[in-house]
A and B are shown apart, each in its own frame.
Chain A
Amino acid sequence: MKQRTWSRAVLYIICILMSLFFLMPVYVMLVTSVKPLDEVTLSDMWKLPTAFDWSSYQTAFEKLAPNFLNSIYLVVPATLLSALLGALNGYVLSKWKFKGADTIFTLILFGMFIPYQSILIPLIQFLREIGLYNTIPGLVFVHVVYGIPITTLMFRNFYAAIPDEMIESAKIDGAGFLRIFRYIMLPLSITGFVVVAIWQFTNIWNEFLFAVTITTSSQQPIMVALQNLSGSQIVQWNVQMAGALLAALPTLLVYMFLGKYFVRGLLAGSVKG
């Protein structure tokens, strides 16, 4: 019994030490963001501020607010559209299987893993051609298209758990493709929508490569603006940390309040079939 208490203590100590490692950046971020500029020095990084100074938040907010809005305009329609598209695809690929459906599914799935650098040059040419280059709708379009693989995968797995008998009996009752989707699948897939929406919201909000190559200046989403904040002037670390917190806030809030679905999304995005 004594040995057990000891080993328990060791477990707790390891967990606490690891937690400190994971929380260390948050502590430094918070502390730095409320320090007046003259206290922001590298050697005093760990010290608490002598006085709270919120001006870095004000500066960061003034600089990042327009980009924050851009990100909202981007993430809301892109999330909704790609979730809806994924739901329809997942429905077809799980409940209306046809010959070759699995091959098509695998072909779609591959799009999830490609490095986006390998489609970026033609993508930009294409967006210029149709006049959507350097626009938020252009970015929405890109995220909807390249969101198809993951949202389809997630909904397909989700719908696979709904028994086929339910669909069959609905068919016998005379319900068709759309009716079954509207009155059986949709009501049953609220959790699925939450999981997929959280996943897409987080990914699109945090995405950088498309954002930095497709948009410039006033059209840029928050992550690009945050990155520019560090390159543009003499590094004001307190402003940068405040900016990083602002940029991270929406996804952190989602994680805090819907963490269960967030983790489910992580797992759904990685495990197939």
Chain B
Amino acid sequence: METAKAVSERSVTVVPKTQKKRKWTVDHWLALAFLSPSVVLILIFVYGFIGWTGYVSLSNWNSLVPDLSFAGLKNYIYLFHDFRFQADLRNTLVFTVLFIGVVIVLGQLLAILLDQKLRGESIFRNIFFFPMALSFVVTGVVWQWLLNPSTGVNLFFKKFGLDSKWYTDTTILGSFHLGKIEFGVPVAIVAVVIAAVWQMTGFAVAMYLAGLRAIPEEVREAARMDGATEFQIYRKIIIPMLRPITVSVIIIMAHISLKIFDLIYAMTGPGANFVTDVPGVYMFETTFRGNYYANGAAIAIIMLLSVAIFIVPYLISSRKGES
């Protein structure tokens, strides 16, 4: 401490204030020294480990005994011909689109409702947010009970002639074949989407509410002066102003949805005919239950790439926006 103090004192006297280029002091080295363990950890545990997973995905390690001999793209080729993985890709796509779509629409709607200075606003807000505090496992366990094929919710639907079996259903709506895989919306996935929406909508509401509160009152005032109705103000001015938030919500929800594992694992598992299987569940089962490490690693790398497509441009653009 004493030396640091002495040096920083000296640096103040030695470097005149007019001189722009700051001299590196002991303090700067100290700052680096405190940052570097984290940087090293991230380099090893994120980038190094991703590299190692990539290496494993190109190997023959598909048993309990590690075998890191080079296999080329064998594991990837296997996956793309695999019925289960094809179903996973379909499910991920369907899940992601439905989940993000509903979260955005519902999140925006609820945020706008809450922005109307309703009485008891904080109570409603707390009710919409609280599922965020829960674990996906808890959500999965509870919704598994709620959407059980012969429970209350479904008794209700039966009255309308809808005999849904929810997550045990193997029906694929609007199905058509794309190669070997049956495309469409599996009914069982809708059950998982409902649970996921229940859990994550509060997040979108929080984001949109923060966005709405950041819009200055003058904007509305000016529009009102011009004779716009409240509805027009939202449609023409407020909602377009919320677009950057929508982008953020899409990015956050997409990365959650592309790597989702615990909710589905706790709620439905892969499902009959893999109607609710996703890469996260397949990776877990094939690697840690089946010991197909190279196949598991290949699934993991594909998951990473799918997330990176969204995240990397987002990170780069937000960095540009900063500087």
Chain A interface residues toward B at CB < 8 A: 8, 11-12, 14-15, 18-19, 21-25, 28-29, 32, 42-43, 45-46, 85, 88-89, 91-93, 96, 98, 102, 104, 106-111, 113-123, 126, 145-146, 148-149, 152, 171-172, 174-179, 202, 205-209, 212-213, 223, 226-227, 230, 237, 240-241, 243-244, 247-248, 251-252, 254-255, 259, 262-263, 266-267, 270-273
Contact = CB atoms under 8 A, between A and B. Distances in A.
Contacts, number: 276
Interface size class of B (residues with CB under 8 A): 35 or more
B38 A89 contact: yes
A255 B130 contact: yes
A109 B172 CA distance: 38
A148 B316 CA distance: 19
A42 B150 contact: yes
A176 to B, nearest CB: 3
B129 A148 contact: no
B134 A117 contact: no
A97 B287 CA distance: 42
Interface in B124-171: 124, 126-139, 141-146, 148, 150-152, 155
Given A174-B8, A241-B141, 5 more contacts: A88-B35, A111-B45, A117-B280, A174-B9, A266-B206
B110 A18 contact: yes
Contacts of A116: 259
Contacts of B136: 206, 208
Contacts of B206: 263, 266-267
Contacts of B138: 206, 223, 226, 244, 247-248
B319 A102 contact: yes
A42 B206 CA distance: 35
A171 B52 contact: no
Secondary structure type dominating chain B contacts: helix
A115 B304 contact: yes
Interface stretch (B25-33, B72-80, B219-227): B25-33
Given A89-B35, A270-B252, A145 B300 contact: no
A182 B1 CA distance: 12
Given A45-B152, A226-B141, A273 B127 contact: no
Interface of B: 1, 4-5, 7-9, 12, 26-28, 30-32, 34-35, 38-39, 41-42, 45-50, 52-53, 56, 110, 113-114, 116, 118, 124, 126-139, 141-146, 148, 150-152, 155, 198, 203, 206-207, 210, 248, 252, 255, 258-259, 261-262, 265-266, 279-280, 283-284, 287-288, 293, 296-297, 299-301, 303-304, 307, 311-312, 315-316, 318-319, 321-323
B79 to A, nearest CB: 14
A271 B203 CA distance: 12
A226 B134 CA distance: 13
16 contacts: A15-B110, A102-B322, A115-B258, A117-B279, A118-B49, A121-B297, A171-B8, A175-B5, A179-B5, A208-B266, A223-B138, A248-B134, A251-B133, A251-B134, A255-B132, A270-B252
Contact of B293 (A114, A121, A175, A252): A121
